[in-house]
């Protein structure tokens, strides 16, 4: 079996590749962005002499990460791209297809002719097909593929930064497809139907052979990734957290959800969120949303949250309406508890820690009805970048079901953001556990929890947040589910319950 080789630009970028498929143009493009630094070619058996303070190790071969990576830089100073490429190589198209579907993506990666008829996917009906080149949660380039074999126009480059709704939607899908497949750098083919329906046709590792323009696009993302990683490593200030958890107003006598917009403005600390009905071309605002002032201190953020609850209680003048939170307190009403992170680098490693150390444990105590929001909502790794900087983690249900759960989630989020690079377990990569998460199967998920809890309790800063986190951990260990039919005002002593 041919041994991988490793190329370095001498300033922290390492590319692992198969010698007979050397990505010549990519290496040249990276070298040209290296301010004249001399590049060196090494075998995986030789030590590295670059001496870079931070290292970005890119697995372009699809093989295992070699021991040389540890000599390039210690694990705490090294960011690895496509660390699980060898595991991805072993995945069948059927397994990739299942992984995408479990994360709410329409996939045609492994469809037979019969399945195509059943699901409505017919390549002939898709007028546009695109290949998106993903590199670490970003799109390096987009190409529109030939509409049919023999098309004289062939492939056409598309402006990946263009403010086009279709491009934005494809970008989100391609990034999610790569993330759901367990890799960071990938080529994703997306097919678009005239009606706007998008399917993922394939997910594959990036090729070694590429045009100069694509090599330059990749090199730009690679260098930027190393720079952002170095800045993150040198960051000393704690991350700042915000939130916008949702709840609904429920009239128990009429068994009806009452639109929050009847009482709350769209904007404001206590406002309402939009819900668009495409079939009627209408935008409603039925969900109440709390938007407390952000803080780097969990205790202060909870104080801000309680303040917005009191504001909402003053504005919602009908005290008979129940405030319901959770995942899906009423059928068809999926709620989210989005956590906002700023003053921290958005990266795949952080997202996977949030998935494994927060989303999976929280699924052990959510109401059985909450699994109904998945996979359309609540898929692992769901995020959205914010125009003002930072990002929101969108996977969690609305966790304002009680002070114990809320305090635990907020403190845990802060702890994970501070020390995510020291947490290495990834049970969500196991197909059976991912399925259990999607199904809300707490019995299957529970076996993965004790090692995660042990990892958390060993962190230096754990004791600092233990007053908030420990009650949540005890509840998870007891598998005490929350009740989504309960009025959350009772637990928070809000309004008529104060």
| Of 414, 413, 408, 405, the residue nearest 467 (C-alpha) | 408
Q: Print burial letters for 56-95: b (CB count within 10 Å at least 16), e (below 16).
A: bbbbbbbbbbbebbeebbeeebbbbbbbbbeebeebeeee
Rounded Cα gap, residues 57 and 313, in angstroms: 52
- Report the run of H or E that residue 273 belongs to, with start and end: strand 270-277
Q: Give the separation between CA 332 and CA 169, rounded to whole angstroms.
A: 23
> What's the pTM value of the predicted model, to 2 decimals?
0.93
Cα gap 196→193, rounded to integer Å: 5
Phi/psi for 183 (5° steps) reads -125, 165
pLDDT tens across the length of the chain (498 residues): 678 999 999 889 999 999 999 999 999 999 998 644 444 444 443 434 445 578 999 999 999 998 878 877 777 789 999 999 999 999 999 999 999 999 999 999 986 555 555 555 555 556 789 999 999 999 999 999 976 655 555 678 988 888 888 899 999 999 999 999 999 999 999 998 877 789 999 999 999 999 999 999 999 999 999 999 999 999 999 999 999 999 999 999 999 999 999 999 999 999 998 765 444 455 567 999 999 999 999 999 999 999 999 999 999 999 999 999 999 999 999 999 999 999 999 999 999 999 999 999 999 999 999 999 999 999 999 999 998 789 999 999 999 999 999 999 999 999 999 999 999 999 999 999 999 999 999 999 999 999 999 999 999 999 999 999 999 999 999 999 999 999 999 999 999 998
Three-state DSSP state, 134: strand
Pairing of strands 156-158, 185-192: unpaired
């Amino acid at each position: 079996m041919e041994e991988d080789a490793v190329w370095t630009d001498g300033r922290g970028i390492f590319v692992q590749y198969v010698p007979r498929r050397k990505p010549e143009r990519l290496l040249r493009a990276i070298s040209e962005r290296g301010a004249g630094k001399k590049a060196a070619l090494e075998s995986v058996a030789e030590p590295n002499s670059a001496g870079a303070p931070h290292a970005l190790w890119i697995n372009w071969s699809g093989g295992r990460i070699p021991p040389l990576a540890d000599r390039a830089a210690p694990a705490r100073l090294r960011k690895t791209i496509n660390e699980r490429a060898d595991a991805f190589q072993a995945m069948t198209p059927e397994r990739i297809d299942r992984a995408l579907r479990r994360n709410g993506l329409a996939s045609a990666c492994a469809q037979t002719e019969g399945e195509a008829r059943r699901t409505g996917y017919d390549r002939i009906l898709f007028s546009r097909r695109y290949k998106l080149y993903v590199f670490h949660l970003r799109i390096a380039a987009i190409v529109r593929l030939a509409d049919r074999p023999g098309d004289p126009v062939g492939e056409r480059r598309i402006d990946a930064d263009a403010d086009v709704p279709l491009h934005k939607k494809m970008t989100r899908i391609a990034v999610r497809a790569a993330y759901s497949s367990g890799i960071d750098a990938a080529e994703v083919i997306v097919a678009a139907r005239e009606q706007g329906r998008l399917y993922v046709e394939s997910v594959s590792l990036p090729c070694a052979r590429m045009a100069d323009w694509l090599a330059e696009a990749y090199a730009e993302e690679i260098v930027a990734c190393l720079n952002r990683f170095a800045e993150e490593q040198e960051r000393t200030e704690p991350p700042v957290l915000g939130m916008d958890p949702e709840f609904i107003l429920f009239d128990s006598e009429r068994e009806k959800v009452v639109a929050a917009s009847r009482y709350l403005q769209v904007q404001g600390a206590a406002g309402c969120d939009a819900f668009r009905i495409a079939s009627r071309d209408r935008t409603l605002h039925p969900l109440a949303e709390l938007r407390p002032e952000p803080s780097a201190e969990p205790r202060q953020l909870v104080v801000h949250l309680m303040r917005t609850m009191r504001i909402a209680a003053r504005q919602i003048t009908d005290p008979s309406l129940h405030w319901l939170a959770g995942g899906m307190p009423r059928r068809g009403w999926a709620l989210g508890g989005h956590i906002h992170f700023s003053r921290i680098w958005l990266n795949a490693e952080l997202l996977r820690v949030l998935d494994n150390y927060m989303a999976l444990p929280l699924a052990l105590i959510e109401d059985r009805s909450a699994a109904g929001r998945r996979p359309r909502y609540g898929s692992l790794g769901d995020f959205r970048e914010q125009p003002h900087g930072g990002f929101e983690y969108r996977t969690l249900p609305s966790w304002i079901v009680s002070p114990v759960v809320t305090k635990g989630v907020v403190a845990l989020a802060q702890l994970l953001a501070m020390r995510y690079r020291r947490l290495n377990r990834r049970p969500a990569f196991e197909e059976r556990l991912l399925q259990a998460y999607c199904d809300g199967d707490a019995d299957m998920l529970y076996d993965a929890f004790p090692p995660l809890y042990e990892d958390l309790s060993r962190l230096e800063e754990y004791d600092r947040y233990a007053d908030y986190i420990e009650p949540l951990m005890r509840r998870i260990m007891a598998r005490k589910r929350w009740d989504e039919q309960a009025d959350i005002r009772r637990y928070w002593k809000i309004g008529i319950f104060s």
